[in-house]
Structure 1
């Protein structure tokens, strides 16, 4: 049996950040969010595609270090998007096609749009590389980022509103499919972003109680190293936009 179909012992409860305090005040147990790995990626993409253009517009002539940091982070976000698409196209969509064949046309469109988005991100990377060295071109490149973010938002909403509800009915509760541990397994085996940077990026700004719930589903090595990974990530990204904002897991 493929490892991503093996159930987890206790799937994490990941409430939407905006409602978690209300749930605790009411004495209710937080509701589990299915496919937390997918939702974390969606939330992180939205977060960074909002603040990256703004940070690029603030780039001043002579700020070469900041320009290089922006380029590195944009390249990282692009790599994470590529891994996310790989996870969906090679691990998740085949399972959904098998158990929900009526979704095959939607899945075919999503897979084709993955390729289109990957190419678009690669093209914008070329523009970001230029803007990172020439602050005078930052504004038009920031607009290009925002146009791409709008395209991606349409894609994410289709997945969240048309696909995930159906997946909740056909994928067994407790499955690793679309989970955070499955995503980390893929990153370990792929020639892409490291687990430390990826996890810190995914959990950037997520409230501590939710982070604890998510880490409880990860292996001991991840839990042991998490404080160091988080501190390193925040130290490297703080010059771009300051301390982490209060962003949470996207939930529709």
Structure 2
């Protein structure tokens, strides 16, 4: 049975969750809580690294494959330009969070939360655009051997990063998203790789969202 959601949509859902959780964590941060500020910074660094990997994979592998199939170049140019805007928005968020680490006041945290809200709006516009206009094109080529090669190139090859990734996309996910993940990647692989190699995420990031 085909997955209800694509891998791309599963990743997008994880990104949206983290953006929302980051803003909420900043707004609820107690005045002077330097440890909490550093925790939020660590979670943000993880999100930025995952998004960088995801979008570089699209720019270097997925979009070139689609161009070779005759997909509208203007659309793909827009996607790449939006990746640049998204990068700038995440840097702004990074600077704001770094500022909270330097001055862990409730006022500074609230200001940073507003910056994260603005960054989230930029990210969400891009994700919605991609889901609306690019996802259907990807679906058309899902069974193409060339696409399978491109798709393989965007996966994490380091097992520890793959394990952290699998734990991340399930952390706070809906049952629909978890089911789709196991329809896209064999359930035993999700279970075993996540269990054996996702310890870093479970130790360093997941507890931040439970605090």
Tell me, yes or no, whether TM beats 0.5: yes
Q: C-alpha displacement at 1:237, in angstroms?
A: 3.7
Does residue 203 of structure 1 match 2:170? Answer: yes
Structure 2: stretches of 5+ with no match in the other structure: none
Deviates most, 134-143 or 84-93:
134-143
SS in 1 for 2:172: coil
Does residue 226 of structure 1 match 2:198? Answer: no
Matched-pair contact (CA < 8 Å) for 1:124–1:144: yes
Matched-pair contact (CA < 8 Å) for 1:37–1:178: no
Matched-pair contact (CA < 8 Å) for 2:162–2:198: no
* TM-superposition CA deviations, 1:112-165 (whole Å, max 9, x none): 121221122123212101113422301111011011111111111111111111
List structure 1 runs of 4+ shifted beyond 4 angstroms: 208-211, 228-232
User: What is the RMSD computed on CA atoms of the aligned residues?
Assistant: 2.9
- The two structures have a TM-score, normalised by structure 1, of 0.70
Does residue 89 of structure 1 match 2:70? Answer: no
Q: C-alpha displacement at 1:48, in angstroms?
A: 0.9
SS in 2 for 1:40: helix
- Alpha-carbon distance between aligned partners in 2 of 1:42 and 1:122, rounded to the nearest angstrom: 19
Of 117, 120, 140, the match for 2:89: 120
Q: Indicate how the Cα distance of structure 1 residues 229 and 204 shifts in structure 2: closer, same or farther if over 3 A, else same.
A: farther
Q: Indicate how the Cα distance of structure 1 residues 145 and 87 shifts in structure 2: closer, same or farther if over 3 A, else same.
A: same
Of 3, 26, 40, the match for 1:14: 3
Of 152, 159, 162, the match for 2:123: 152
Does residue 163 of structure 1 match 2:134? Answer: yes
Q: C-alpha displacement at 1:182, in angstroms?
A: 5.0
Q: C-alpha displacement at 1:47, in angstroms?
A: 0.9
Structure 1: stretches of 5+ with no match in the other structure: 1-11, 16-32, 244-252
**Size of the alignment, in residue pairs?**
205
- The two structures have a TM-score, normalised by structure 2, of 0.82
